[in-house]
A and B are shown apart, each in its own frame.
Chain A
Amino acid sequence: MKYIKLLISFALTFGVFYALNTKLGSIPPLGKFLNPVSGIWQNETDEAVIGEVAIPGLEEKVTVHYDEQMIPHVFAENEHDLYKAQGYLTAKHRLWQLEFQTHAAAGRLSEIIGEAALEYDRTERRRGMDYGAEQAIAYMEQYDTETLRFVQDYADGVNAFINQLDPNNYPVEYKLLDYRPEAWSPKKTALLLMYMTKMLAGYDDDLEYTNVLRQIGEENFNLLFPDFFDSTDPVIPKDTDWSYIDVPQTKLPESQAVLDTIAETIEKPHPDNGSNNWAVSAEKSVTGNPILANDPHLGLKLPSTWFVMQLSTPDHNAFGATIPGALSIISGFNQNIAWGETNATRDVIDWYKIEFNDNRTQYKYNGQWKDVTLRVEDIKIRGKESYKDSVLYTHHGPVVYDKNFKSENEHSGYAMRWIGHDGGNNQKTFIELNKAKDYEDYVNALKYWNAPAQNFVFASTKGDIALWIQGKFPNKWEGQGKFLMDGSNPENDWQSYIPQEFNAHTKNPERGFVSSANQHPVDENYPFYVFNDGYETYRNRVINTYFNSKDKFSVQDFKDLHNNNHNLKAKELVPYMLEHMDISSFTEYEKTVYKEIKDWNFSNDIDEVGPSIWRQWYGELYKILWDEFDDESTALTSPFTYQTIYLLKNHGEHEFMDILATDDKTETAKDLFRIAFKEASARLKEIRDEDGNYAWGNYKATYVGHLLQALPAFSRFDIPIGGDRNIVNATSKNHGPSWRMIVEMTTPPTALGIYPGGQSGNPGSQYYDNFIDDWAAGKYHRLNFLQSNEANNTIIGTQTLTPVSYD
């Protein structure tokens, strides 16, 4: 009996221990997770802003003043110490995000989350993310050991924090998912830059276009997907003189697209990833100082994509938004210049069909067989054996699709040629921009930048404004890379690159302002082939119209433009639809909705109902119009909004207007307007019945979501902010202005900035999401640009990082 009692009580005790010490499904190990000594209760605090911390490897003391927004103002004696301090402080405030993002970049989420992430990890590996990061490190090792040393300094700083961190104080997410941080390395910085490259230059539709071309033929394809729309308002003004360019576009070879049928393609970055930036010249500024603004549009995430810092040495003093994992300021200013980026959206991904030999060790190229290189991706999976994925590499790049992945062909595959794999020295551009004193320094800094191609806006205290579209661009033949190409034909390879000095740019243009909003970079007169890879067509026109509307602009005007909710897209279609739609069959309810949208002033403010009606109506319309491309068995894409609206207004009788499901009728655009309107009204009625109303704020329901699939407890929902995609205030449901900055080039510059988040990555900190309300209200925070290492009245605490003494 006593044996049995002993055994039972032991089993119970062990059972309780096991249950509370083990992660069960998505439930964290509750004993570990909830105990007050080492569990989440230890995270119920803000980060320390005072005291002294010893950092191994520092040469001199580094002073960090924190202001009331929890922005660290860093004063270091040299650049090595500066980047050590940046690494340390970034880890201190954002450790989990810092590591998680690079795990995501490297295709290593299965290690943390388990098998559910395997498909994602395989996609990232096959996309060559890890390979690309290795190329970047190899490039730095060979050509630029100075930058590599700074990257190592940053790593040392991050590791100093990790090594000092008591496991009791690990960020909450580690406790929730039950794992530990690992050491940081320069390769992780390279992975972070790959992550940005994927986000901003990882979008393409080549394979979808190939399917579409096969299905509808060339004539229809060109009507639906033109290289240039009927009107353009490019980044580089239309009247620019290109006659100095003496390198010709690559000659058109006798090349045919390979019209394969591709069932499924890999996941793509968000198509709305983009941004606005602009600057006005001294003459066009009310105060006589140039003013510059930037607002990158990205997924709205917590912890935020951005972390604001002031980074200074005796030789330079920079301030602005950093990205955890990358060195120096990314979008910001120093004592002499200001800069910011928008995505240049150029086509730097092409696809090649590869034909293998029988045992897949060689592939056909130029009439011969060429060896493939095998790269085995070892994907660790939590609680399971590793998954080994064999990826074949050709001289084009990785064969992403083959018999092992989304394809059934034994002897062929599709290889990806992506500028992201080329290695490069992107980090140096930012390190140099942080120190730049004038236009020449800015231009020199940009030369190192390969990808993702960006529109770098510039303004200086000397009075210059400029904008360069910088990236490494293949000099393509007309039409190259629009569709899948034959990988065995050398003429289809990228033949050369556009020489960097011929990248499109403008300095102090006559119109007195520069701007970019992801639109077409240039007009047809630019002598190189630029393919329409999803260019924006609305924000750019609203911005440029605004700056042409009067002579002089102030900081307040800049704020107004950031928060401008004018819906040009709706304005270009709604009146036409209202005029041409047959409303004789409308019910009373539909007539009410009709009146509501008729009375709308095309402003996407939160209390308007017009934007919701428009969104619902256009959404239904787009769906029934492009029913031709709604096919689960083939990867397809449908035309861009601009061209869709153009076709509705100018080709209303075209065969594409017909709804395929109705055999007995042939619909035209006018019919589609009516059918879509009725569908939309019905849906809006449902929304009204469920939620009380369909005012835009409710309908859109903007949220900022935690990086772990918007875990509700760590996210913020129903944020009252207007705007939408294709609007200057580009805030859609979970995407939009992730950082808003306005800099006036006084001496020293005065700046405003805000982002939808907070400086702390800890959900237990009041600084986790404290900027969100002001951001939504269109407010800004003054960026307190300290000119010397002295705490003023805006400083709430000073922390000193000291070298480790070995005596």
Chain B
Amino acid sequence: MEKYHSANLSDQRIIDALIAQDPDITIEDALENEMIINMGPQHPATHGVLRLVARLDGETVMSVVPELGYLHRGYEKMAENMTYLEYIPHTDRLDYTSTMANNVAYVMAVEKLAGIEVPKRAQYIRMIVAELSRIAGHLVAVGTFALDVGAVTAFMWTFREREKIQNIFDRIAGARFTTSYTRIGGVASDLDSEAIKMIKEFLDQYKDAHEEFEKLLNTNRIFIDRLEGIGILPKEDAINLGITGPNLRGSGVEYDIRRAKPYLFYNEIDFNIPVYNEGDSLARYFVRVDELKESSKIVYQCLDKLPQGPTMANDAKKVLPKKEEIYTKMEELIHDFMLVNFGINPPVGDVYSAVENPKGELGFYIVSNGTGYPWKFKIRSPSFCNLQALPLICKNQMISDVVAIIGSIDPVMGEADK
């Protein structure tokens, strides 16, 4: 062990973990024939600040240990010192590729805890923005995945489409990236006709853009050769490791919370759940590509079914009043003051609410002691759980495959490190 002069305590821990994966080797073996390589946290392929320490034999990866926490901001602890309303902007910063879906997931958990009934129109709007944000998230995922295997143009094309979604979000929420669009009891603003027109225009032209993108990659010999049979995650392992989302469906498990435990109005919508049985990187890619099409189908249906009505629940003690009423009416002013300063005070109890996010099951576990602040707050983030599969599926692959596998698992470190 003394041979690692420069190894500090955390490096030592990782080296120990590397050795623990393969108890037969000694540290001398590693120094003799093998190389320990550090990928990240500053590495172009690690999607943010994921750090991997890999033991290489030539270019073959013998074992790999992921090291997380470089983006840890303590969001779970921070939540305990904030009112439920104050926390909404922080959900943007979890999975920052699909902010709207996080907003929706969080307020649904709080509403379940406080027992607020949300108007139908608001729920439909939430479905629309969540699915648009799923499209945005998956576009980033497949684009960066293509970039990881060397196809730069595909990446640019997906980002071009994502840009249009962000323009839509700009119209709906007033912000392109950090949307913070949902409110407890509804959504911040109604979908106006201009926004609906923008969404329809986007979806109409997206079909062609999607086809163009698929043409570039789906039948590309090099792309398929690079990914077929790489990073196979067997069904049982996927379930045991708690993998969710497209990664689980790529391993042949038909589990999608939108179908398994329908929330919002997903039970009224007709959509398929793409499932591939191969469990390799290519299958995970195909699941995402198919989900892109399914999501645009869902948005079309939601726009058709979008009912008229209010977008905020009528519950003065828990739901923020309208801005113009605050300035003109006494009672609304008092309610606004109480809600903003002391919170919505949900009843004592705990709740776990999970939704299907682009990355997988995003769950919020909230314990309330009756005050305006949560007593305990836990985020079940899909990226964190999905990353658990990395040591298993990277074993005996080449170092180029590790890059492809990270891309196919699609972790977002903002969410994994919380």
Q: Does B associate with A?
A: no
